[in-house]
Amino acid sequence: GAVVSQHPSRVICKSGTSVKIECRSLDFQATTMFWYRQFPKQSLMLMATSNEGSKATYEQGVEKDKFLINHASLTLSTLTVTSAHPEDSSFYICSARVGNRGYGYTFGSGTRLTVV
């Protein structure tokens, strides 16, 4: 149980275009989802917390107008990288909390974004 499906797994886009990444909870409802970014050989850094039916909360230094988050249902959160640039190339990973407390977090398989 507690599976999070993330798509696409890999995407290559041209500089200046936008890319949407989807994160779905398959067998549970996720009121809150989290988006992380991981650069090569580095750790996962929390970008934003996605809340169903309300605005996302962004970590310091993360541009909310560049990384648009939509959490329109209890099973789907999307991250759109707008006007992508080569420096946005990274591994993006979503996560969902399982239950309101005490059940940990489950992660998607990640999306490798390459901006050329």
Answer for the pair 102, 2: CB distance below 8 angstroms, yes or no: no
Half-sphere exposure of 77 (CA within 13 A, CB side): 32
Nearer residue to other proteins within complex by CB, 28 or 107: 107
CB of 94 to other proteins, least distance (A): 9
Nearer residue to other proteins within complex by CB, 16 or 55: 55
How far apart, in Å, do the first and last CA atoms of the chain sit?
Answer: 37
CB of 13 to other proteins, least distance (A): 18
Nearer residue to other proteins within complex by CB, 47 or 81: 47
**In the complex, which residues of this chain contact other proteins (CB under 8 A)?**
6, 31-32, 34, 36, 42-46, 49, 51, 91, 93, 95, 97, 100-102, 104-110, 112
Q: Which residue, 66, 94, 106, is CA-closest to 9?
A: 94
CB of 16 to other proteins, least distance (A): 26
Residue 55: CB atoms within 10 A of its CB come to 12
